């Protein structure tokens, strides 16, 4: 019997989480009651037209992430929730939500096609702001997500219920990567990824209070940024504290060596006063943090996960906006 758990192993070797968030332009979240098969869109309740669309998008290598989501009521409700989160251009705080209530899951594929072609106005229903938290509980894909994701989801519902926060929804989700950091979650509309969570760190993330140093233990990165910039962004979170979450951000890789050992990156942000700051950083391969690790419970062999650290960081420019102008 295989008693290997990838999440336990990752913790034991002290793997650093940062830089493991998936960089996606669009999330398409389809409500579908479990159980889900290992390949989620092969599940019993997923219609063939939706399965075909997911395959087409995969073949075209579009930066679109399809996920199944569910809550404790999904098997009872007479409608299907479809959430589409699209990355905002330029300086942004993450993704923009489009929410639809459909009569059934058979209608999802046609609407998603219309949406991707830019023709959605007939169907859109919900416009109010929500914070949608996705917890991977996809145990048929990786047993760590059942072992750690399910209990975390259960207690997180209680944590949210006892918080004073409104419009926070929590969903079980199919696999979105990084099960070796289970319990792992995505916080939308921001699109930030977290792992190795417990209820105390979850409470801090929910309310944006507490010791900002917890990001060293649980932060996987921000999905709007390429991996090396996720490392730079975490450093700026540690410098600016919880205020950082109110800022609009954009970033890019300026240069990259052929062997991927060194990079030059730039990250700009606008603070609450409207002032614009740009940081430049040199990132280098970190030999100490680069690890060989089994990425899942079922992985036959370990693979090398390249980790970077910041070798140099400087404030490149600062444009202060006069509030009296």
Residue 130 lies in a domain: yes
Could you tell me where the beta strands, DSSP code E, fall in 195-307? 219-222, 248-256, 262-270, 276-285, 291-293, 303-305
CATH number at 196 reads 3.40.30.10
Rounded Cα distance between 289 and 286, Å, is 5
Report the candidate in 45, 44, 27 with the shortest Cα–Cα distance to residue 116: 27
Among residues 216, 248, 274, which one ends one of the domains? 216
Closest by CA to 257, choosing from 238, 276, 280, 283, is 283
Residue 36 sits in the same domain as residue 181? yes
Name the helix (H) or strand (E) containing 170. Answer: strand 168-173
> Is 45 in the same domain as 71?
yes
pLDDT for the residue 289 = 78
**23/161 same-domain check:** yes
Q: Is residue 221 part of a domain?
A: no
d(CA 315, CA 101): 46
Q: Do 306 and 295 contact (CB within 8 A), yes or no?
A: no
Q: What is the pLDDT of residue 149?
A: 87
The verdict on 244 and 171 lying in the same domain is no
User: Per-residue confidence of the chain (325 residues) as pLDDT tens digits?
Assistant: 558 655 556 666 667 789 889 999 999 999 999 999 878 899 999 999 999 999 999 999 999 999 999 999 888 888 999 999 999 999 999 999 999 999 999 999 999 999 988 877 655 666 788 999 999 986 645 556 677 888 899 999 999 999 989 899 999 999 997 778 889 999 999 999 999 999 999 999 999 999 999 999 999 999 999 988 999 999 999 999 999 999 999 999 999 999 889 999 999 999 999 999 999 999 999 888 776 666 655 667 767 768 889 999 999 878 876 544 3
Q: How many CA atoms within 13 Å lie on the side-chain side of 115?
A: 22
How far apart are the C-alpha atoms of 45 and 35, rounded to whole Å? 9
CA–CA separation, 21 vs 194, rounded Å? Answer: 8
Residues 261 and 207 in one domain: no
Burial level of 99, CB count in 10 A (0-12/13-18/19+)?
A: middle
Whether 325 is covered by a domain: the verdict is: no
Domain termination site, one of 192, 216, 240: 216
What CATH number does the domain containing 294 carry? 3.10.450
Q: Is residue 1 part of a domain?
A: no
Q: Domain containing 86: what range?
A: 6-216
Both tokens assigned to 75? 């098997």
Domain end among 186, 216, 246: 216
145 and 72 part of one domain: yes
17 lies in a domain?
Answer: yes
> Which among 247, 142, 162, 243 is positioned nearest to 202, based on CA atoms?
162
pLDDT for the residue numbered 140: 46
52 and 20 in a common domain:
yes
Mutual angle of helices 150-161 and 199-207, in 10-degree steps: 50
In angstroms, what is the C-alpha Rg of the chain? 20
118, 254: one domain: no
Residue 221 CB partners (closer than 8 Å, separation 6+): 17, 18, 19, 20, 21, 192, 193, 227, 230, 231, 233, 234
Tokens 């990084």, residue? 178
90 and 127 share one domain: yes
* pLDDT tens digits for range 51-93: 999 999 999 999 999 999 999 988 888 899 999 999 999 999 9
Question: Alpha helices of the chain — where are they, by DSSP H?
Answer: 6-12, 48-59, 108-116, 143-144, 150-161, 199-207, 215-218, 227-240
Q: What is the total count of domains within the chain? A: 2
Angle (CA) 41-1-20 rounded to 5° is: 50
Same domain, yes or no: 311 and 187: no
pLDDT, residue 301, reads: 76
CA dist., res. 46 & res. 129, Å (int): 28
Query: Are residues 261 and 201 located together in one domain of the fold?
Result: no
Answer yes or no: do 45 and 110 share one domain: yes
Cβ-based neighbours of 200, under 8 Å, separated by 6 or more: none
- b or e along 73-98 (b: 16 or more beta carbons within 10 Å of the residue's beta carbon)? ebeeeeebbbbbbbbbeeebbbbebb
Q: Return the bridge partners of 64, or none.
A: 26
């Amino acid at each position: 019997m295989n008693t290997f758990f990838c999440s336990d192993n990752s913790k034991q070797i002290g793997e650093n989480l940062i830089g493991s968030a998936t960089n996606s332009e669009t999330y398409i979240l389809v409500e579908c009651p479990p159980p889900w098969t290992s390949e989620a869109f092969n599940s019993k309740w997923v219609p063939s037209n939706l399965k075909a669309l997911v395959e087409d998008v995969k073949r075209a290598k579009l930066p679109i992430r399809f996920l199944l989501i569910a809550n404790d009521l999904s098997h009872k409700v007479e409608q299907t929730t479809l959430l589409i989160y699209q990355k905002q251009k330029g300086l942004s705080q993450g993704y923009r939500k489009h929410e639809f209530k459909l009569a059934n899951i058979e209608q999802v594929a046609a609407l998603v096609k219309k949406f991707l072609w830019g023709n959605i106005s007939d169907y859109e229903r919900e416009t109010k702001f929500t914070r949608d938290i996705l917890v991977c509980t996809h145990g048929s894909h990786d047993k760590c997500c059942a072992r750690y994701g399910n209990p975390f989801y259960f207690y997180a519902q209680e944590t949210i219920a006892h918080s004073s926060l409104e419009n926070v929804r929590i969903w079980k989700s199919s696999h979105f990567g990084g099960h070796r950091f289970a319990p792992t979650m995505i916080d939308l509309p921001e699109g930030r990824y977290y792992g190795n969570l417990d209820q105390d760190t979850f409470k801090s993330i929910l309310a944006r209070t507490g010791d900002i140093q917890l990001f060293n233990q649980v932060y996987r990165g921000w999905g709007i940024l390429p991996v090396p910039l996720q490392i730079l962004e975490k450093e700026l979170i540690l410098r600016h504290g919880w205020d950082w979450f109110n800022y609009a951000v954009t970033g890019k890789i300026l240069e990259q060596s052929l062997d991927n050992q060194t990079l030059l990156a730039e990250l700009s942000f606008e603070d609450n006063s409207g002032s614009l700051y740009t940081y430049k950083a040199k990132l280098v391969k970190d030999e100490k943090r680069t690890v060989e690790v089994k990425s899942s419970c079922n992985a036959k062999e370990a693979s090398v996960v390249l980790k970077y650290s910041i070798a140099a960081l400087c404030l490149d420019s600062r444009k202060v906006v006069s509030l009296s102008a």
